[in-house]
Amino acid sequence: MRRLRPFVKLLGAVVVVAGCGGRGAVTFSITAPSEPLLNPVAQPELVTEYDIRTASGNVIGIASAVQGSGSSGDGLLPLGALMPTMGPEDVYVTALTGGSTLGMARIKDVSISKGKTATYTAELRKPLVCVGAAMPAESASGNKTAAVQVIDPLTAADLAKQPSSPVSIAGMTAAASTWDGRFVVAANGNALTAWDTGSGKTVAGTLTLAFAPSRVVVAPRDQAIVALDPGSGADGSLAIISDVAGFVGSPGSANPKIVRMPGAIARTAAFSPDGSKLYVLTGGTAVDPCAPGATLTPNAIQVYGLDGSMTNMFALEGFAADVTVDPQSGAIVVADVAGKQIATLDPASGAPTKVLGNLTCPSAVRVVNGTVFAVTSDRDMPTNGFILQRVPLKGGASTATPFTGPNYNIPIDSMPSTNGDIGMALLPVRPVSIDAYELAVTPDGSRAEFATRAVYNEANTKFMFSGEDCTANFNIVEYGLFAVDLRTGNASYESRSQLVTQGKNDCVDCQLPSPFPDQVVGCQSTAGDKPAGLAATFGQ
Partner 1 sequence: MRAFVASVVVMCAVAVAVDAHAEERRTVAVLEYRAGARGARDIGERLARLLRDTAALNVIDLAEARRKLPKVDAEVAKCGGEAMCVGAIGEQLGANEVLLVGVSQLGDTILALQRIDSKRGEAGARLAESLPADKEITDEQALGWLRQLFPPETFRRFGSIAVDADQAGAAVSLNGEPAGKTPLSEPVKVRAPATYKLRVEKSGYVPFQARVDVLPDANVEVHATLVRESKEVPWFKRWYVWATIGGAIAIGGVATAVYFGTRTDSTPLGYVMKPMP
Q: Please, what is the minimum distance in Å from the beta carbon of residue 375 to partner 1?
A: 16
161 makes contact with partner 1 (CB under 8 A): no
**Near partner 1 in 100-129, by CB under 8 A:** 112-117, 119, 124
Asked whether 357 and 373 are in contact (CB, 8 A), the reply is no
Query: Using alpha carbons only, what angle is made at residue 24 by residues 21 and 30, rounded to the nearest 5 degrees?
Result: 170
217 contributes a contact to partner 1 by CB under 8 A: no
Please, how many CA atoms are within 13 Å of residue 131, restricted to the half-sphere of its CB? 33
Which residues, at least 6 apart from 413, have a Cβ–Cβ distance to it below 8 Å?
519, 521
Chain residues 418-447 in contact with partner 1, contact rule CB under 8 A: 444-446
- Length of the chain (residues): 540
* Separation of alpha carbons 533 and 536, rounded Å: 10
The number of CA neighbours under 13 Å toward the Cβ of 121 is 3
Q: Is 15 in the site for partner 1 (CB under 8 A)?
A: no
Cβ within 8 Å of residue 5, ≥6 positions away: none
| Residue 44 binds to partner 1 (criterion: CB under 8 A) | yes
18 binds partner 1 (CB under 8 A): yes
Query: Residues 357-376 vs partner 1: string with x where CB under 8 A?
Result: -----------xxxx-----
Can residue 82 be called a binding residue for partner 1 (CB under 8 A)?
yes
Q: Does 87 bind partner 1 (CB under 8 A)?
A: no
Residue 32 or residue 345: which is nearer to partner 1 going by CB? 32
Tell which residue, 54, 52, 101, has the closest CA to residue 78: 52
List of residues 6+ apart from 86 with CB closer than 8 A: none
Residues 31 and 119: beta-carbon distance below 8 Å: no
Burial of 362 (0-12, 13-18, 19+ CB in 10 A): buried
**Residue span binding partner 1 (CB under 8 A) among the ranges 80-88, 194-202, 235-243, 298-306:** 80-88
Q: Residue 6: is the preceding peptide bond cis (ω within 30°)?
A: no
Please report how close the Cβ of residue 353 comes to partner 1 at its closest, in angstroms. 17
How far apart are CB 13 and partner 1 at their closest, in Å? 15
Per rule CB under 8 A, count of chain residues that contact partner 1: 64
Q: Is 479 in the site for partner 1 (CB under 8 A)?
A: no
Using CB atoms within 10 Å of the CB of residue 274, give its burial: 0 to 12 exposed, 13 to 18 middle, 19+ buried.
exposed
Interaction of residue 301 with partner 1, rule CB under 8 A: no
Q: How far is the CB of 435 from partner 1 (least distance, A)?
A: 24
- Rule CB under 8 A: choose which of 37, 38, 55, 61 binds partner 1: 61
CA nearest to 54, candidates 274, 328, 339: 328
Judged by CB under 8 A, does residue 25 bind partner 1?
A: yes
Tell me how far, at minimum, the Cβ of 14 lies from partner 1, in Å.
10
When asked if residue 263 is in the footprint of partner 1 (CB under 8 A), the reply is no
Q: Where do contacts with partner 1 occur on this chain (CB under 8 A)?
A: 18, 21, 23-32, 41, 44, 47-50, 52, 57, 60-66, 71, 74-84, 93, 96, 98-99, 112-117, 119, 124, 368-371, 390, 392, 394, 396, 444-446, 486-487
